[in-house]
């Protein structure tokens, strides 16, 4: 009985006998077979059919297989091509594989071998298609928006630096898009097929960061019940994103330096030196040069990391990006919530343009999310936007406001101390009476006296 599979194969050969016998074998194995006796016929089939693989003779009456191979690769880059060669054409067949042919067979050849190779070619092209689909999907998900000259420069840098495998240090205030730039660099590199590994150096307590990065051997500390791979190993053949690198403990920095410089690591509690092939991208919101001067960051590590620097300017310095970003977030966030995109009136956009955005792009995204969830309007007015932005202003409590709050608290404390002193003096330091006059419990009065250091004045 014939096996069925879902694949279609084009076989191109001017040898009618070979064409017919190879077609029969393929059909017996469940393939849908299309044929061409020359380059012209092959091109007609290639135009119209959805194909999964091609078996192509190197020498054809009207063209040569290499020319056709190049054309197929150009038009259908995922289509695997297996070459058939006659006597004395091995050199050409080798050239064909260099050009991307999956494999070649010298005629006469066992059809069984062709079948095995065809199976492998189909598997690997399916994997390649999936890989490309995943990368394209991720590129869309992590798409970066920006029209300002500053962001255009960042995009140009990404374009140039991504495939180069060089180490990159990304600078930027909180929420400017450092992680997004790291992802863009990874996704546009040869390493994109493997997931980028991220370590946030400030979120992990210092003593745990070492095992997190380098892994550990079984029994290297209490609780190490089994050997554990570290992030350096997980990132092998991929990218390691060291986020908030400026917060890394000085004691750990020499080990990281060695890993970066020589691609060598040792697990905690282990003696074996393990080689890793990792691309490093680091990010910081600190001035690392200043940290080096203050001896808070090793100079040698700083120089190793900052081969290429990418600065992402704060949003307030590239205001022309604000309307586009706002729209981009609003469309995505409303789609997630299955509602029509909320429009922003020109007055609302003007308010966005005036606001200082201390939390940068993240703050803008969060604001759009708030509006997508809370707003009942189809179009947000200037006043409504003002209301949301005022909430942001209040919750942000920038430095000046903090200092103002501290002053208020000081005033409150001073007033309270004065009142306690006055009431105690008036009551002749009768605690019970003073507490009653102040409307507080006696125990509270005692603790306040202690807290403020109130003392009886000698008259």
Residue (of 194, 356, 343) closest to 277 by Cα position: 194
246 lies in the binding site for ligand ATP (CB under 6 A): no
Site string for ligand ATP, 265-294 (x = CB under 6 A): --------------------x---------
What is the three-class DSSP state of 199?
Answer: strand
Which residue's CB comes closest to ligand ATP? 177
Helical H segments across 54-177, by residue range: 65-75, 90-98, 111-141, 149-161
Nearer of residues 187 and 325 to ligand ATP, judged by Cβ = 325
- Interface residue with ligand ATP among 167, 216, 351, 365 (CB under 6 A) is 365
Which residue, 42 or 151, has its beta carbon nearer to ligand ATP? 151
Q: How far is the CB of 409 from Mg ion (least distance, A)?
A: 33
Q: Closest separation between CB of residue 328 and ligand ATP, Å?
A: 6
Residue carrying the six token digits 């077609």: 23
Q: Could you tell me how many residues of this chain bind Mg ion (CB under 5 A)?
A: 2
* Cβ distance to ligand ATP smaller for residue 159 or 406: 159
Residue 211 binds which of ligand ATP, Mg ion, none (CB < 5-8 A, kind-dependent) = none
Choose, by CB under 6 A, the member of 114, 144, 274, 438 that binds ligand ATP.
144
- Helices (H) and strands (E) in the chain — how many of each? 19, 16
Provide the β-strand partners of residue 198: 241
Question: DSSP letters of 31-60?
Answer: -EEEEESSHHHHHHHHHH---SEEEEESB-
Cα gap 81→166, rounded to integer Å: 34
Q: Which is nearer to Mg ion, 104 or 241 (CB)?
A: 241
Q: Which residue's beta carbon is nearest to the bound Mg ion? A: 179
x/- letters, 157..176, toward ligand ATP (CB under 6 A): ---------------x-xxx
CB of 197 to Mg ion, least distance (A): 14
Residue 269 structure tokens: 């509690």
Segment contacting Mg ion by CB under 5 A, of 68-76, 173-181, 216-224, 376-384: 173-181
CB of 167 to ligand ATP, least distance (A): 18
87-107: burial string, b at 16+ Cβ within 10 Å, e else: eebeebbebbeeeebbbbbee
- Nearest of 13, 1, 12 to residue 53 by alpha carbon: 12
Q: Using CB distances below 5 to 8 A depending on partner kind, what does residue 215 bind out of ligand ATP, Mg ion, none?
A: none
Q: How many residues does the chain have?
A: 459
Closest to 343 (Cα-Cα) out of 386, 382, 315, 316: 382
Beta bridge partners of 226: none
Stretch that binds Mg ion, among 161-169, 175-183, 259-267, 397-405 (CB under 5 A): 175-183
Site for ligand ATP, residues 56 to 115, rule: CB under 6 A = none
Strand segments, DSSP code E, in 262-351 are 264-265, 274-275, 278-284, 308-311, 343-344
# residues contacting ligand ATP (CB under 6 A) = 16
Binding to ligand ATP, residues 173-232 (CB under 6 A): 174-180
Residues 6+ apart with CB under 8 A from 216: 224, 227, 228, 230, 267, 268, 269, 270
> Under the criterion CB under 5 A, does residue 179 sit at the interface with Mg ion?
yes
Q: Near ligand ATP by CB under 6 A, which window of 270-278, 299-307, 359-367, 379-387?
A: 359-367
The option from Mg ion, ligand ATP, none interacting with 144 (CB < 5 to 8 A, set by class) reads ligand ATP
Residues in the site for ligand ATP, rule: CB under 6 A?
Answer: 144-146, 172, 174-180, 285, 325, 361-362, 365
Residues in the site for Mg ion, rule: CB under 5 A?
Answer: 178-179
């Amino acid at each position: 009985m014939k096996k069925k599979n879902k694949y279609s194969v084009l076989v191109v050969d001017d040898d009618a006998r070979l064409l017919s016998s190879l077609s029969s074998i393929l059909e017996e194995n469940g393939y849908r077979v299309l044929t061409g006796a020359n380059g012209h016929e092959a091109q007609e089939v290639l135009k119209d059919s959805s194909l999964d693989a091609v078996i192509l003779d190197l020498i054809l009456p009207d063209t040569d297989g290499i020319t056709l191979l190049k054309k197929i690769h150009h038009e259908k880059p995922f289509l695997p091509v297996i070459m058939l060669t006659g006597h004395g054409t091995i050199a050409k067949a080798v050239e064909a594989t260099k050009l991307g042919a999956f494999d070649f067979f010298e005629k006469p050849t066992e059809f069984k071998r062709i079948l095995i190779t065809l199976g492998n070619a189909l598997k690997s092209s399916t994997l390649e298609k999936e890989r490309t689909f995943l990368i394209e999907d991720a590129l869309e998900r992590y798409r970066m928006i920006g029209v300002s000259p500053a962001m255009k420069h960042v995009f140009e840098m990404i374009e140039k630096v991504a495939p180069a495998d060089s180490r990159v240090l990304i600078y930027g205030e909180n929420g400017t898009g450092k992680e997004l730039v790291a992802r863009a660099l990874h996704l546009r590199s040869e390493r994109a097929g493997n997931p980028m590994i991220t370590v946030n150096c400030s979120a992990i307590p210092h003593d745990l960061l070492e095992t997190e990065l380098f892994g550990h051997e079984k029994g290297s500390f209490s609780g190490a019940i089994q050997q554990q791979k570290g992030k350096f190993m997980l990132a092998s053949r991929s990218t390691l994103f060291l986020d908030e690198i400026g917060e890394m403990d000085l004691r750990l920095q020499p080990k990281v330096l060695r890993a970066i410089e020589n691609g060598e690591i040792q697990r905690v509690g282990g003696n074996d030196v393990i080689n890793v092939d990792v691309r490093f991208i680091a990010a910081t919101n600190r001035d690392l040069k200043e940290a080096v001067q203050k001896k808070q960051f090793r100079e040698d590590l700083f120089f190793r990391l900052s081969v290429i620097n990418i600065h992402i300017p704060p949003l307030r310095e590239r205001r022309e990006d604000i309307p586009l970003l706002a729209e981009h977030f609003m469309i995505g966030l409303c789609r997630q919530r299955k509602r029509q995109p909320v429009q922003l009136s020109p007055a609302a956009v003007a308010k966005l343009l005036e606001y200082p955005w201390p939390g940068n792009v993240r703050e803008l995204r969060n604001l759009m999310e708030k509006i997508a969830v809370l707003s009942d309007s189809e179009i947000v007015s200037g006043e409504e936007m003002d209301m949301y932005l005022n909430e942001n202003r209040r919750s942000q409590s920038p430095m000046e406001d903090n200092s103002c709050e501290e002053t208020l608290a000081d005033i409150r404390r001073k007033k309270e101390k004065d009142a306690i002193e006055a009431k105690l003096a008036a009551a002749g330091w009768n605690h019970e009476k003073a507490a009653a006059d102040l409307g507080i419990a006696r125990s509270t009065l005692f603790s306040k006296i202690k807290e403020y250091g109130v003392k009886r004045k000698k008259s």
